[in-house]
Amino acid sequence: MRILVTGAAGFIGAHLCQRLLQEGHSVVGIDNLNDYYSPKLKEDRLALLTPHPSFSFVKLDIAEAADLNKLFSDNSFTHVVNLAAQAGVRYSLQNPSAYIQSNIVGFANLLECCRHHSIKHLLYASSSSVYGLNTTMPFSTGHTVDHPVSLYAASKKSNELMAHSYSYLYGLPTTGLRFFTVYGPWGRPDMALYIFTKAILENRPIPVFNQGMLQRDFTYIDDIISGMAPLLDIPPTVDATWSAAAPNPAGSCCPYAIYNIGNNNAVQLIDFIRLLEDALGRKAEISYLPMQPGDVKATYADISPLNALTGFTPKTTLKDGLARFVAWYKEYHSI
């Protein structure tokens, strides 16, 4: 395959590029290297990829249609993975326009390019955030997701709807993956694990929202990549059992699919903190805070459809995953 990976300098993007290169594919990575968090971390991730002869990097923003069109015209991509997005739930309350530009305008540009260049399969990032006000656990792709509680979540739901329209109108095979709290080495500094680790090592209190009454389906990065990579070669087909009278949101009468990709295990946040304390060998000072706007109280993924398709089964325990993150963090920051 000749694969375009957008957001290649990001946490998931860099790990996926490594896996695809190991499998012998040719990869072009793009990223706008914005300063939402440290561009140096993004550049350091890229430094792991650029020595590979089958990898090339182009600094590019998918919201710039002309630049993206030229990239597609200059290359013969067979597959596309879209991981470029403005991330973060809380930041969407402060800077909503960034989410419209990257997650809506950028994704629309990408769909147009895929349509006009006969891409065999578009695999793209959605999010567990789309479940919004849903409280039925575990979250299933068979549930409706019409009540987002943040613009970030709404933008990801919009991506799913936009992808469906292109699958239906133009036969473009699209697969959306709803990620559940991905963590691990090279992770994002705006996520809880990075924030907690930094604060504990600096003897500062960690912020714990909703008085600690939160649950998350923490999923280790290697498990995420093991679930993603095989999907590229399995483009969705028409679901013969799909009915317009009783439509299943996870499939369609066109080549379109949605999957949860998570650990299938909801963990209490306080238990997560205790395991992190063990990995660091230090106790955390906790600052309990109220629920934050845009947050949800719990996430928990039903991964049975993805398991049935590919055999996807997460293998990394939270204890082991946290230990690997802490070891990376200390090495990266020379602690």
Domain count, the chain: 1
Which tokens belong to 9? 């300098």
119-157 CB burial, b ≥16 within 10 A, e <16 = bebbbbbbbbbbbbebeeebbbbeeebeebbbbbbbbbb
Give per-residue pLDDT as tens, 171-229.
Answer: 999 999 999 999 999 999 999 999 999 999 999 999 998 888 899 999 999 999 999 99
Strands 267-268 and 215-216: antiparallel
pLDDT-above-70 percentage for the chain: 100
- CATH number at 20 reads 3.40.50.720
* Average pLDDT, integer, range 246-251: 93
List Cβ neighbours of 54 (8 Å cut-off, separation of 6 or more): 21, 24, 25, 26, 27
Which residues does the annotation mark as catalytic? 152
Tokens of 20: 């695809």
One-letter identity of residue 185: P
Instruction: Report the pLDDT value the prediction gives residue 290, as an integer from 0 to 100.
Output: 87
**Among the residues of the chain, which ranges form H helices?**
11-22, 39-49, 65-74, 91-94, 96-99, 106-116, 151-170, 192-201, 221-228, 269-280, 304-310, 318-332
Distance between CA atoms of residues 321 and 324, nearest Å = 5
On the question of pLDDT at 320 being above 90, the answer is yes
Contact 258, 176 (CB under 8 A): yes
Name the pTM for this structure: 0.96
Task: Please tell me the least confidently modeled range out of 20-34, 158-172, 285-299, 309-323.
Answer: 285-299
Domain with 48 in it: 2-332
Per-residue confidence band for 89, with pLDDT thresholds at 50, 70 and 90: confident
Confidence band for 39, pLDDT divided at 50, 70 and 90: very high
pLDDT at 113 exceeding the cut of 90: yes
